């Protein structure tokens, strides 16, 4: 399955889709004969318009609802029937596997269990994925029917090895958490988590040593009962899911970060926690201990939520650096403690997460709603488990932050569904998961919503690459600084943040800035830019450069656009915006052209670019690719001959020459760059310059063992021949005898290159070779006609006719066509020469073109 982005389906879009499906179900209940094809056509005609993404999600949901309805009516519809009747369903390609799987499950539930192989043959486009999923469907179904019995846990007051169980403080489907007394440590109070003896939670969590990951003191076993106990320090607090519920009870629309602490205090004071004087004093003091360092006590609720996410992201970054992935990040596994702040716990799925029994317990234990799409899919197809890593934890943390900010609980699959269908149902919902937290509270900053959106990208490659990157952006959000790995879409918010960061400077210079602002908006923008740090020292710019280097162009564009708005005079931002736009925009007068041209106009821009190049090896590559982009613009320019078209051509050529020339300065050995520069100079009709560049390349050419470059010298020589004949033709019109001699000499050089290439030109270059030979020999024939050299003219005609026939024949055999006006022009030139050469002695010309 492709991890496609949801395409911007927001909460309103989700509600519209859900509403459409509900209306169809009501209509179908009232009319058993309702036909979805007709209903859908009427809906498209008469109903409110839907976006492409909404239409795709809606149609897939309607088909699934209709499948269930018709099976309940005793019919046995197939998805392929809907594909034939409703062509628009093919727009929902990302959901097709889910629909086909739904059909299989319905057939199985209604006593018509089909043979997997023959069933999958009906859907060849999805056969491989479907076979894999149905195979695991069988395993999960068996696991659901063979759910291991829950262990018989000890009661409070009993002993578990050296631990006395004092109170039950938490419970899950397959575990219990007790406040205990460790008799081996003189009765020290600890937390003992007792669960079935499976998984590697003890080994995984015990190896981690981080202030915000709950440590494991020891592990004890009772093999006869199949139980294991993990002893951990006693840190009074509440799980975050409990805190979230209490926050919304205290304040439905919380505005202050303090609300989080107040909810924690309320829960502890009203609960069963056993507090000694130390903990009680810490509770009265507020969030002032080391574990709460940095908590924005006087900040907004959004800032408080971001701080909790920041702490968890740092803990995950620590684990990820040790190649440990939690795979069960959710509010219930984050403990807000009085003294130690947020604590990440329960690494039970970190190492053995894909067994069928784990899928069943994940559903029962509330883990499923917080899974990333690729993790859900890995339960359905274990071959994909290798893709479940750091980015899956990032997604789960994004869901947790979203729930913190909105108070909105996540979708939970229908408990009546078997595990495989529950997983598929939730995977479908992931495609349309809304990330617009500002829709719940417009006070949430745009920057924080952008962080949530990036965490919840459907494609793992589009999320934060690591917990470290996420933590860095959360920290910068709290400091009101520009993010490094993301971009704030709100310009006004960026301006306000800039003002807060620079309030002392602004206050100190308020009078002068006011005067300047009254005098000239341009001056105030220049003063503002002067207050910005140097471009090459900004971490946001370094991150944007990494994005461009790694091909993440849309992300780079968003970040660089913000930087340009903050500092319009910095040419480096514009240079890199040009690089990024050139990779995703192929239209004339592109943003690449605009940004690169503007960058060149900035004072000292070229020197700054060359200075930046000293530590950036990929800059030459970006310049070369940009030069090629501008060169491609000229070949696609269909307005040549008009004033505007010619101006656009000249502008693109100047930029191409500048980009290629700068790239050659940075990397003089790059033949690709020199070749591009030569081509650009040829387009500009600087034929002598182009000829010199190509000659330089041929002088240094070495035989290549790489098949992709084996024909490079031949291509360069053919291009040099073309350049030489164009130079000859440009000189031919001069009455100056010296120029006429030079013209003939250049034509002879062109023919000499072609003679060298005659036996080495590969098949795919033969049309080019014969086309060039036709042009060169006809040009020589025209020189000889002018000079009255009838004896050489006859040989020219014979050579030109043979080359022209081969050119036209090879071109047509390749499926290409030569424009009629071009063919007529060349045949007319040949006829003129043939008419003039009908009589006179003939001589054989040498390869140099002379007698």
How far is Cα 634 from Cα 665, in angstroms, rounded to an integer? 24
Match 């008469």 to its residue by tokens: 46
Helix (H) or strand (E) holding 112: none
Per DSSP, which regions of 107-217 are E strands? 159-160, 163-172, 175-182, 188-196
**CB contact set of 455 (below 8 Å; sequence gap of 6+):** 394, 395, 397, 398, 399, 401, 463, 464, 470
Q: Among 205, 203, 155, which residue's Cα sits nearest to residue 176? A: 155
684 assigned ligand-binding residue = no
Burial degree of 145 (CB within 10 A; 0-12, 13-18, 19+): exposed
Phi-psi region of 219 (alpha: psi -120 to 50; beta: other; left: phi over 0): beta
How far is Cα 238 from Cα 249, in angstroms, rounded to an integer? 16
Match 């971490």 to its residue by tokens: 539
Residue 446 CB coordination number (10 Å): 15
Q: Are 565 and 491 in contact (CB under 8 A)?
A: yes
DSSP letters for 721-765: HHHHHHHHHHHHT---HHHHHHHHHHHHHHHHHHHHHTTT--GGG
Residue 521 CB coordination number (10 Å): 10
Backbone angles phi, psi at 356, to 5 degrees: -55, -40
Helix (H) or strand (E) holding 658: helix 643-666
- Beta-ladder partners of 335: 239, 343
Give how far Cα 408 sits from Cα of 243, 503, 539, 546, Å.
13, 36, 35, 36
Give how far Cα 684 sits from Cα of 675, 689, 722, 732, 800, Å.
14, 10, 14, 18, 28
How far is Cα 545 from Cα 176, in angstroms, rounded to an integer? 50
How far is Cα 623 from Cα 597, in angstroms, rounded to an integer? 13
Q: Among 843, 682, 847, which residue's Cα sits nearest to residue 748? A: 847
Tell me the longest C-alpha to C-alpha distance in the chain: 124
Q: State whether the Cα torsion 309-313-314-315 is positive or negative.
A: positive
The token pair at 3 is 């991890």
Backbone angles phi, psi at 192, to 5 degrees: -120, 115
Q: Are 475 and 507 in contact (CB under 8 A)?
A: no
Assign 440 to helix, strand or coil: coil
Q: Among 315, 306, 312, 313, which residue's Cα sits nearest to residue 450? A: 306
The token pair at 629 is 């982009």
How far is Cα 327 from Cα 370, in angstroms, rounded to an integer? 9
How far is Cα 16 from Cα 482, in angstroms, rounded to an integer? 35
Helix (H) or strand (E) holding 232: strand 227-233
How far is Cα 540 from Cα 609, in angstroms, rounded to an integer? 17
DSSP 200: S
How far is Cα 341 from Cα 319, in angstroms, rounded to an integer? 18
Q: Are 677 and 661 in contact (CB under 8 A)?
A: yes
Q: Are 807 and 774 in contact (CB under 8 A)?
A: yes
Residue positions forming the annotated binding site: 193
Binding site feature residues for ATP: 193
């Amino acid at each position: 399955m492709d991890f496609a982005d949801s395409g911007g389906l927001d909460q309103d879009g989700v509600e519209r889709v859900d509403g459409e499906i509900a209306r169809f179900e009501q209509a179908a209940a009232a009319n058993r004969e309702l036909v979805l094809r007709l209903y859908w056509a009427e809906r498209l005609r008469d109903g409110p318009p839907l976006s492409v993404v909404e239409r795709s999600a809606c149609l897939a949901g309607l088909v699934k609802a209709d499948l269930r309805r018709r099976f309940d009516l005793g019919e046995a519809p197939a998805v392929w029937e809907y594909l034939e009747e409703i062509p628009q369903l093919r727009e929902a390609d990302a959901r097709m596997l889910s629909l086909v799987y739904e059909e299989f499950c319905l057939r199985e539930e209604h006593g018509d269990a089909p043979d997997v192989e023959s069933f999958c043959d009906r859907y060849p486009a999805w056969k491989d994925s479907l076979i894999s999923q149905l195979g695991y469907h069988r395993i999960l179904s068996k696991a659901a029917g063979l759910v291991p019995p829950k262990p018989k846990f000890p009661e409070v007051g009993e002993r578990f090895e050296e631990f006395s169980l004092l109170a039950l403080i938490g419970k899950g489907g397959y575990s219990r958490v007790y406040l205990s007394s460790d008799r081996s440590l003189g009765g020290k109070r600890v937390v003992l988590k007792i669960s079935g003896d499976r998984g590697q939670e003890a080994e995984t969590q015990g190896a981690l040593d981080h202030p915000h990951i709950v440590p494991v003191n020891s592990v004890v076993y009772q093999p006869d009962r199949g139980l294991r106990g993990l002893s951990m320090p006693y840190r009074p607090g509440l799980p975050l899911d409990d805190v979230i519920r209490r926050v919304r009870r205290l304040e439905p629309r919380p505005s202050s970060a303090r609300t989080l602490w107040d909810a924690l205090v309320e829960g502890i004071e009203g609960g069963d926690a056993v507090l000694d004087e130390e903990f009680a004093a810490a509770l009265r003091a507020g969030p002032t201990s080391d574990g709460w360092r940095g908590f924005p006590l006087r900040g907004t609720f959004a800032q408080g939520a971001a701080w909790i996410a920041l702490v968890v992201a740092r803990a995950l970054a620590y684990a990820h650096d040790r190649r440990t992935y939690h795979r069960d990040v959710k509010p219930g596994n984050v403990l807000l403690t009085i003294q130690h702040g947020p604590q990440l716990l329960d690494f039970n799925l970190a190492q053995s997460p894909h067994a069928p029994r784990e899928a069943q317990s994940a559903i029962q234990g509330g883990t499923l709603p917080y899974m990333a799409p690729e993790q859900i899919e890995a339960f359905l197809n274990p071959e994909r488990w290798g893709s479940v890593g750091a980015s899956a934890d990032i997604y789960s943390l994004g869901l947790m932050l979203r729930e913190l900010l909105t108070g909105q609980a996540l979708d939970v699959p229908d408990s009546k569904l078997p595990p495989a269908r529950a997983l598929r149902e939730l995977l479908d919902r992931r495609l349309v998961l809304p990330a617009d937290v500002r829709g719940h509270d417009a006070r949430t900053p745009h920057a924080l919503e952008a962080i949530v959106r990036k965490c919840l990208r459907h494609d793992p490659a589009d999320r934060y690459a690591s917990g470290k990157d996420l933590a860095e952006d959360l920290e910068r959000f709290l400091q009101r600084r520009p993010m490094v790995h993301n971009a704030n879409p709100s310009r006004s918010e960026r301006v306000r943040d800039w003002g807060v960061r620079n309030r002392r400077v602004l206050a100190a210079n308020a009078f002068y800035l006011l005067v300047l602002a009254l005098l000239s908006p341009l001056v105030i923008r220049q003063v503002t830019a002067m207050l910005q740090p140097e471009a090459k020292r900004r971490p946001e710019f370094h991150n944007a450069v990494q994005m461009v280097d790694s091909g993440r162009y849309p992300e780079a564009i968003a970040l660089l656009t913000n930087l340009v708005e903050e500092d319009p005079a910095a040419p480096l931002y514009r240079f890199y915006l040009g690089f990024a736009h050139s990779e995703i925009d192929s239209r004339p007068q592109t943003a690449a052209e605009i940004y690169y041209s503007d960058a060149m106009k900035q004072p000292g821009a070229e020197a700054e670019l060359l200075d930046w190049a000293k530590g950036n090896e990929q800059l030459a590559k970006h310049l070369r690719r940009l030069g090629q982009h501008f060169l491609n613009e000229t070949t696609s320019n269909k307005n040549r001959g008009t004033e505007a078209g010619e101006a656009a051509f000249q502008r693109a050529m100047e930029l191409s020459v500048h980009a290629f020339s700068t790239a050659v300065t940075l990397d003089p050995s790059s033949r690709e760059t020199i070749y591009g520069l030569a081509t650009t100079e040829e387009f500009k009709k600087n034929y002598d310059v182009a000829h010199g560049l190509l000659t330089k390349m041929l002088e240094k050419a070495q035989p290549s063992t790489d098949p992709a470059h084996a024909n490079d010298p031949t291509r360069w020589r053919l291009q040099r021949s073309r350049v030489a004949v164009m130079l000859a033709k440009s000189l031919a019109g001069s009455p100056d005898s010296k120029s006429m001699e030079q013209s003939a000499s250049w034509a002879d050089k062109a023919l000499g290159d072609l003679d060298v290439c005659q036996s080495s030109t590969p098949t795919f270059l033969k049309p080019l070779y014969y086309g060039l030979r036709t042009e060169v020999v006809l040009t020589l024939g025209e020189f000889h006609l002018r000079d009255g050299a009838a004896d050489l003219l006859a040989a020219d005609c014979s050579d030109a006719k043979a080359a022209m026939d081969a050119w036209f024949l090879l071109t047509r055999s390749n499926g290409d066509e030569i424009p009629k006006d071009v063919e007529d022009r060349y045949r007319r030139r040949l006829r003129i020469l043939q008419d003039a050469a009908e009589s006179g002695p003939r001589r054989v010309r040498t390869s140099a073109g002379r007698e």
